[in-house]
Amino acid sequence: MPKITPFLWFDDQAEQAMNFYVSIFKNSKILSVNRYGDAGPGPKGSVMTANFELDGQVFTALNGGPMYQLSPAISFVVHCENQAEVDHYWEKLSEGGKENQCAWLEDKFGVTWQIVPNILIELLSDPDPVKAGRVMQAMLKMTKIDINTLKLAYEQA
Tens of pLDDT, residues 2-15: 789 999 999 999 99
Q: Where in the chain is the domain with CATH 3.30.720.100?
A: 1-68
How confident is the model over 101-121, as pLDDT tens digits?
999 999 999 999 999 999 999
DSSP code, position 44: T
Question: Which CATH number does the domain 70-157 belong to among 3.90.850.10, 3.90.1150.10, 3.10.180.10, 3.40.30.10?
Answer: 3.10.180.10
CB atoms within 10 A of CB 106: 19
Looking at the chain, which residues constitute the CATH 3.10.180.10 domain(s)? 70-157
Report the alpha-carbon distance of residue 17 to residue 28 in Å, rounded.
13
CA distance 88 to 147: 14
pTM of the complete model = 0.93
